[in-house]
């Protein structure tokens, strides 16, 4: 299957404490990569008026500290995944972390988060058809112990799918 990369971006996994410790050059690097994850070290060095080695070292530190990840972000429909949904999961209180990890290990999950409110966990999934989505909910999610109930929100359309700044 040929992957058509619709958007190359950067997903921020930054926490506020590290962000406050970063200097202006690090922040500008993060911002620049947020706009275009394909920027070369040389391009950033020219724009920021620092050496290419400085950029290379700082980008490596940002990646190694997991402050940023540079990824290819695709449009699921253009890859043949026509059924995309957000699934809210209510869990037994002592099993939220375990259930989150189990859901995260499933093939079709794109992201998984623990939350406050009516649902303990939300996950975004993308599958080829509504039939496959139904099977995923009943079989894959349904077989996880400790889940009290789920509610599925099927995406009808996407008004904005953007990553980075």
Spatial separation of the C-alpha atoms in residues 13 and 68, rounded to whole Å: 6
* Comma-separated ranges of CATH 3.30.70.920 domains in the chain: 77-154
Q: Dump pLDDT digits (tens) for 97-146.
A: 999 999 999 999 999 999 999 999 999 999 999 999 999 999 999 999 99
* Comma-separated ranges of CATH 1.10.10.10 domains in the chain: 7-73
- Tell the residue number behind the tokens 């009808």, with chain if given: 156
What do you get for the CA distance between the two ends of the chain, in Å? 30
Q: Please give the CATH number for the structural domain made up of 77-154.
A: 3.30.70.920
Q: What is the pTM of this model?
A: 0.72
Spatial separation of the C-alpha atoms in residues 90 and 80, rounded to whole Å: 30
Radius of gyration (C-alpha) of the chain in whole angstroms? 19
Which pLDDT does position 116 carry in this prediction? 95
> How is domain 7-73 classified at the CATH fold level?
Arc Repressor Mutant, subunit A (1.10.10)
Q: Which residue has the higher pLDDT, 148 or 14?
A: 148
């Amino acid at each position: 299957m040929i992957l058509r990369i619709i958007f190359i971006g950067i997903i921020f996994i930054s926490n506020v404490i590290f962000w406050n410790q970063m200097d202006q050059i690090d922040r500008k690097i993060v911002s620049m990569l947020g706009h275009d994850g394909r920027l070369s070290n040389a391009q950033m060095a020219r724009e920021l008026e620092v050496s290419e080695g400085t950029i290379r070292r700082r980008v490596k530190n940002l990646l190694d500290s997991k402050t940023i990840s540079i990824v290819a972000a695709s449009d699921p429909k253009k890859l043949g995944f026509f059924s995309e949904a957000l699934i809210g999961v209510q869990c037994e209180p002592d099993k939220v972390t375990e259930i989150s990890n189990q859901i995260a290990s499933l093939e079709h999950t794109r992201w998984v988060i623990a939350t406050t409110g009516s649902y303990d966990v939300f996950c975004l999934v993308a599958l080829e058809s509504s039939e496959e989505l139904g099977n995923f909910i009943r079989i894959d999610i349904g077989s996880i112990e400790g889940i009290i109930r789920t509610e599925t929100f099927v995406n009808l359309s996407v008004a904005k799918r953007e990553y980075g700044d």
